[in-house]
Amino acid sequence: MRILLRAFAFLDLLSLVFMTMQLWVIINNYSAITLPSDKVQSILMFPMYVLVLVGAYGLFLQKKLGFISYYIQFPFRLYLWVFSVGFISLLLEGFTDYNDNWLPILLKICFAVEFVRLCLTVRAHQVLGHNHIYGAGK
């Protein structure tokens, strides 16, 4: 479980890199955003950034804070499209393939992987909580 949680923490750190770039664009272009829904998404990206940072730290150290932070972030991850493996959607740009044929498929993969991660995180939380209660794993 330790390796799995650290892998999740690494994926969150990778997400933070891309979120930093998004936040920079939001800061520089916030006045140009006209739709209220886009403004809400832009504003929510800032607390989401903090939640992902706290979650990555907590998961890396296997602290309860990491699990709680991930559970709080999960619905916002889906709303804001902050996926654990969201970087795969950037593969199209890497291959200079800008047509829209692959993007819907890659986004569906990102959604599916996020739900798998949720299941694995809940399972890891159960196992670590069980070990903590009965003193196993020391």
Alpha-carbon 77 to chain mean position: 6
pLDDT of residue 138: 46
DSSP summary character for residue 102: S
pLDDT of residue 92: 72
- Please state the pTM of the whole predicted model: 0.84
133 vs 2: CA distance, rounded Å: 17
Under the banding of pLDDT at 50, 70 and 90, the label for residue 130 is low
Q: Is the pLDDT score of 87 beyond 80?
A: yes
- Rounded average pLDDT over 47-52: 96
The answer to whether residues 48 and 80 touch, using CB atoms and an 8 Å cutoff, is yes
Under the banding of pLDDT at 50, 70 and 90, the label for residue 6 is very high
8 vs 99: CA distance, rounded Å: 30
Q: Is the pLDDT score of 119 beyond 50?
A: yes
Q: What percentage of the chain has pLDDT greater than the value 70?
A: 88
DSSP summary character for residue 35: -
Of 16-20, 38-42, 67-71, 130-134, minimum mean pLDDT range: 130-134
